[in-house]
Amino acid sequence: MTTALVVGAGPAGLMAADVLASAGVEVTIAEAKPSPARKFLMAGKSGLNLTKNEPKDIFVRHFNEAAPSLQSALHAFGPNEVAEWAKGLGQDVFTGSTGRVFPKTMKASPLLRAWLARLEALGATLNRRWRWTGWDGDAFRFETPQGMKTIQADAAVLACGGASWARLGSDGMWAGSFPASDLSRFRPANMGFDVNWSNHMSRHFGQPVKGIALRAGSHVSRGEIVLTQHGIEGGGVYAISRPLRDGVTLTLDLMPDVSAEAVRARLSKPRGKTSLSNHLRKTLRFDPVRQALLMEFARPLPKDLAAVIKALPVPLVGPRPMDEAISTAGGLKFDALDDTFMLKNRPGVFATGEMLDWEAPTGGYLITACLATGQWAGRGAASWVAAR
């Protein structure tokens, strides 16, 4: 019987194992942590956003320069296929008002339990606390609770994750087993940013800021942000974290649904002896956190206050540490792989998931790409062993 090794039991690795086991290949899965899919489970704590309900050609564009390399995988296993896959595991899904697709349970654990049960029924073996440490010739070397072990297989799929959330398993240590020429450096993606707050902002830490627009050059986000001790976090900033990481200035439109002229008209109402904060509250309906942001970054207040309200510059110190990022950019270059995601310098060894050099926004794109590339690499590995 042909054999395959899958390194990493996140969604990409489990999908590759599923494809291989379904093709009749004897599959061994090696997971470094005591339990599988820890990052997947963590993502499900706030509602497991599996995918985005939109046409595949639009979906693929969100992967920017990596889109041509991922197109085949995402067209083979895109939003519709992800939804059907979840239903096949007994998890009905629904589409929210923004097009995001979730399991009706809003959790990852029921889906994962059903998936692991299916893999077990297919004969796949999951070895926990097996950390891959590199190659020994053509064999794979592992640190295990029973000591060092080496495994050889007819094909292998590497799904070792990116370089964020090390405590959940994605520590990027696998990169040391590859030539530097095959790698693009890791960078944080979908992350928060540091801001040098003044002391008076501390009472607003933990406060969400809703109903604003964030701009970074031509990129606009309408999501909310949260003020933290270190800076800003949240879906609104994650959506434009890439241009911000690359140095584009962040501005906030504190009243995105009102024109600058209308803001000026409201501010021109007689103020009398009313304080500025009360004037802003009455005329613009500014809550305390919005007022605090204005005072933090617009002092001394300009004559044209409306212009600043519509484009308040926020000086960012830099991104939060990579280990806090939801995902990472960088990893194995697509130039080091063939079109089935097989390593050009290691025939029969495939790579998938966040190991590959791509990044995408949150909103279902990350998990879908992990599932899609896992399926694509699993198909490639199954075809490889079938041909031999």
Q: Indicate if 139 and 220 belong to the same structural domain.
A: no
CATH number (domain holding residue 91): 3.50.50.60
Q: Are residues 112 and 51 in the same domain?
A: yes
- What one-character DSSP code corresponds to residue 66? G
Q: Which of 303, 319, 335 is the last residue of a domain?
A: 319
Last residue of a domain, one of 289, 319, 349: 319
**Are residues 177 and 223 part of one domain?**
no
Same domain for 132 and 243 = no
388 pLDDT higher than 90: no
Among 243, 219, 221, which Cα is nearest to 316's?
Answer: 243
Q: Would you call 138 helix, strand, or coil by DSSP? A: coil
Domain check: are 344 and 259 in the same one? no
> Do you find a cis peptide bond into 300, omega within 30 degrees of 0?
yes
Residue matched to tokens 């995988």: 73
For residue 97, what are its two tokens?
């008002």
Tell me the mean pLDDT in the region 104-118. 96
The rounded percent of the chain whose pLDDT value lies above 90 is 93
Q: Is the pLDDT of residue 1 over 80?
A: no
Q: Are residues 148 and 99 in the same domain?
A: yes
Judgement on whether residues 127 and 23 belong to the same structural domain of the protein = yes
Q: How far is CA 131 from the centre of its chain?
A: 23
Please state, in angstroms and rounded to a whole number, the distance separating the CA atoms of residues 92 and 88. Answer: 9
Can you tell me whether residue 104 is helix, strand or coil? coil
Q: How confident is the model at residue 273, as a pLDDT?
A: 83
Nearest residue to 175 (alpha-carbon basis) of 161, 189, 156: 161
pLDDT at 312: 98
Per-residue model confidence as pLDDT tens digits over 250-309: 999 999 999 999 999 999 998 888 888 898 989 999 999 999 999 999 988 899 999 999
Chain segment 258-268, per-residue pLDDT in tens? 999 999 999 99
Average pLDDT over every residue of 106-125: 97
| Whole-model pTM over 0.75 | yes
**Pairing state between β 3-7 and 155-158:** parallel
Average pLDDT, integer, range 129-142: 97
Rounded Cα distance, 106 and 114, in Å: 15
Last residue of one domain, picked from the residues 296, 319, 342 = 319
The answer on pLDDT for 141 being more than 90 is yes
User: Alpha helix (H) ranges present in the chain?
Assistant: 11-22, 38-43, 56-61, 67-76, 79-88, 109-121, 235-238, 241-245, 260-267, 276-284, 288-297, 305-310, 365-386
Q: Residue 49: what pLDDT?
A: 96
**What are the residues facing 184 on neighbouring strands?**
331
Q: What does the mean pLDDT of the chain come to?
A: 96
Residue 372 has pLDDT above 80, yes or no: yes
Please compute the mean of the pLDDT values over residues 349-364 and round it to a whole number: 96
User: Among 69, 29, 79, 129, which residue's Cα sits nearest to residue 331?
Assistant: 69
SS3 331: strand
The two tokens of residue 8 are 């990493």
pLDDT of 6 > 90? The answer is yes
Task: Please give the average per-residue pLDDT across 380-387, as a whole number.
Answer: 97
- Going by pLDDT thresholds of 50, 70 and 90, the confidence category of residue 46 is confident
Same domain, 262 and 214: yes
Asked if 367 and 234 sit in the same domain, the reply is no
DSSP helix, strand, coil percent of the chain (3-state; round to 5): 40, 25, 35
- What does 174-233 look like in DSSP terms, one character per residue? GGGGS-GGGEEEEEEES--EE----GGGGGGTT-EE-S-EEEETTEEE---EEE-SSEEE
For 188-236, the pLDDT digits (tens) are 999 999 999 999 999 999 999 999 999 999 999 998 999 999 999 999 9
Whole-angstrom CA distances from 22 to 131, 157, 369, 382 are 25, 15, 21, 9
Does residue 280 sit in the same domain as residue 366?
A: no
pLDDT band at 44 (very low <50, low <70, confident <90, very high): confident
Q: What is the pLDDT of residues 15-38, one digit of tens each?
A: 999 999 999 999 999 999 999 999
**Are 357 and 285 in a shared domain?**
no
For residue 308, give its domain range: 193-319
Q: How many domains does one find in the chain?
A: 2
Residues 152 and 234 in one domain: no
Q: How far is CA 185 from CA 105, 241, 358, in A?
A: 37, 17, 11
Q: Which parts of 122-166 fold into alpha helices (H)? A: none
